[in-house]
């Protein structure tokens, strides 16, 4: 699983730790822009295997990854 996270998300370190805990084989990259500027600063957003995902909380974001 390839995950690209925007560097502007304030809790990106916490998000990365949670992703690694649940998906140790995931490739995580912190990018300067992922094209979701309206949401990056407010909620967990990422591009996962080419699909854009945004959720209100980190917990809901991890659940969305479980569904993939």
**Contact status, residue 22 vs residue 1, Cβ threshold 8 Å:** no
pLDDT tens by residue, 31-59: 999 999 889 999 999 999 999 999 999 99
Q: What integer pLDDT is reported at residue 60 of this predicted model? A: 96
Strands (DSSP E) found in the chain: 2-6, 27-31, 45-48, 51-54
* Interatomic CA distance for residues 6 and 61, integer angstroms: 14
Q: How many CA atoms lie within 13 A of 43 on its CB side?
A: 14
Q: What integer pLDDT is reported at residue 67 of this predicted model? A: 83
Q: What integer pLDDT is reported at residue 42 of this predicted model? A: 93
Number of domains in the chain: 1
Which domain range does residue 35 map to?
2-67
């Amino acid at each position: 699983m390839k995950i690209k996270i925007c560097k502007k998300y304030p809790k990106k370190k916490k998000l990365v730790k949670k992703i690694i805990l649940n998906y140790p084989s995931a490739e995580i990259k912190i990018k300067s822009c992922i094209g979701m500027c309206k949401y990056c600063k407010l909620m967990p957003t990422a591009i996962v295997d080419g699909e854009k995902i945004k959720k209100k909380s980190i917990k809901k974001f991890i659940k969305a990854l479980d569904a993939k």
